[in-house]
Structure 1
Amino acid sequence: MKTKHTFFYALLSLLCFSLMSSTCSSDDDDNMPNSSVQDAVMVSQSGTWKISSFIDSGQNETNHFTGYTFTFEDNGDLTATNGSNTLTGSWSITNSNSNVDSNDDMDFNIFFPVDESSAFEDLNDDWDISSYNENTINLIDVSGGNGGTDTLTFTRL
């Protein structure tokens, strides 16, 4: 009986060690630096951006935003301008995960008050942040309706 318990505890210890090692790993499989919502906000606010890629359910629609620059203001305003046209919307980054230090569900929220015929209406969403750094913000959204996947990439100018 004592041998069974010893074997069981040894196996349990090995399993716990294995789980702890994988959850405490410094590897960053999600392509995001170990950071928080605050870090993503600071990166977004630090400069002017352009849309370098916008794929809407498999269709490349990047050209709809050619010439526009985007500024993410600290007051939540989002400005898109191409020199002759300026649109003002809003933006935020939120974490809908209960663990506020987790990158698992950081959402990049964009809203432009435009009608459905505007290309900017396609940007209105709560995008998932797939990765970001000082020069690039990669966003993704899987549509609940048709199951299409949209990707949006902002690149710093």
Structure 2
Amino acid sequence: MKRLNCLLVIFFMFFIVSCDTDNDDMELLETEIIALNEILLDSEWRITSFTENGQNKTDDLENYTFIFQSSNELVADSNLGSFNGTWRVSDDNGTEFDPSNDLDFMIFFTPNGKLGDLTNAYDVISADGSEINLKLEENAEGNSGYLSFARN
């Protein structure tokens, strides 16, 4: 019994010592947020792919140019007019419907408007100076999908 207690104590001490208490992950996410913001603000963007619940909706959005402004305003211009929304990149800390600790890319347009389908919190899959790929994990409404932007 003493041997078992001793092993348990050693195990718990090993567990406590091995816990990561530094802020490396938080600093990495903050760096990623800053980098993605810089990428977005550097150019105009267009949607190259948008699927929601297995339905391809890319054609409905191919004539729009998206401008991400530093004030977190989002302007979508097309031959149909100009539409205003908002955007934000943040660390969700696993507090939303999606339990993972990752970057969220949030887009908000008027829900009943032409661009309302884009309104969601997406997980960032990849991003560089020419392309941004986002994934909508199944959310509280049961929606899932993918959204990709390319530099105009």
Is the pair's TM-score, using the shorter chain for normalization, greater than 0.5? yes
Give the structure-1-normalised TM-score.
0.70
Alignment-mate amino acid for residue 42 of structure 1? E
Are residues 1:107 and 2:96 paired? no
Kindly tell me: are residues 137 and 113 of structure 1, through their superposed partners in 2, closer, same or farther at Cα, counting changes over 3 Å? same
2:71 pairs with 64, 69, 75, which one? 75
Residue 48 (str. 1) matches residue 44 (str. 2): yes
Q: Using a 3 Å threshold, how does the CA distance of structure 1 residues 138 and 75 change in structure 2: closer, same or farther?
A: same
Which amino acid is the alignment partner of residue 110 of structure 2?
P
| Distance in 1 (alpha carbons) for counterparts of 2:118 and 2:89 | 15
Identity %: 28
Do residues 64 (structure 1) and 60 (structure 2) align? Answer: yes
Whether the 8 Å CA contact 2:111–2:117 is kept in 1: the answer is no
Deviation of 1:36 after TM superposition, in Å, equals 1.8
Equivalences, count: 132
**Corresponding residue SS for 2:93:** coil
CA gap 1:130/1:112 in 2 versus in 1, 3 angstroms: same
Structure 2 distance, partners of 1:88, 1:145, is 25
Post-superposition Cα deviations, 1:88-137, rounded to whole Å, max 9, x if no partner, equal 11011011228xxxx9411111101241xx44111101111111110111
1:97 to 2:93 alignment: yes
Which aligned pairs between 1:140-151 and structure 2 lie closer than 5 A? 140-145=135-140, 147-151=142-146
Whether the 8 Å CA contact 2:73–2:87 is kept in 1: the answer is yes
1:36 counterpart SS class = helix
**Post-superposition, which runs of at least 4 consecutive aligned residues in structure 1 deviate over 6 A?**
none
Q: For the structure 1 residues 119 and 57, does the alpha-carbon distance in structure 2 shift closer, same or farther, using more than 3 Å as the test? A: farther
Distance 1:81 1:55, change over 3 A: same
Unaligned ranges ≥5, structure 1: 1-7, 17-33
Amino acid paired to 1:75:
S
Is the Cα–Cα contact under 8 Å of residues 64 and 119 in structure 1 kept in the other structure? no
> Is the alpha carbon distance of 1:114 and 1:85 closer, same or farther for their aligned partners in structure 2, counting shifts above 3 Å?
farther
Residue 37 of structure 1: aligned partner: 33
Name the Cα RMSD after superposition.
3.2
Q: Helix, strand or coil for the counterpart of 1:138?
A: strand
Query: Does 1 or 2 have the higher relative contact order (CA < 8 Å, sep 6+)?
Result: 1
Decide which of 114, 118, 122 is 2:117's aligned counterpart.
Answer: 122
Aligned to 2:25: none
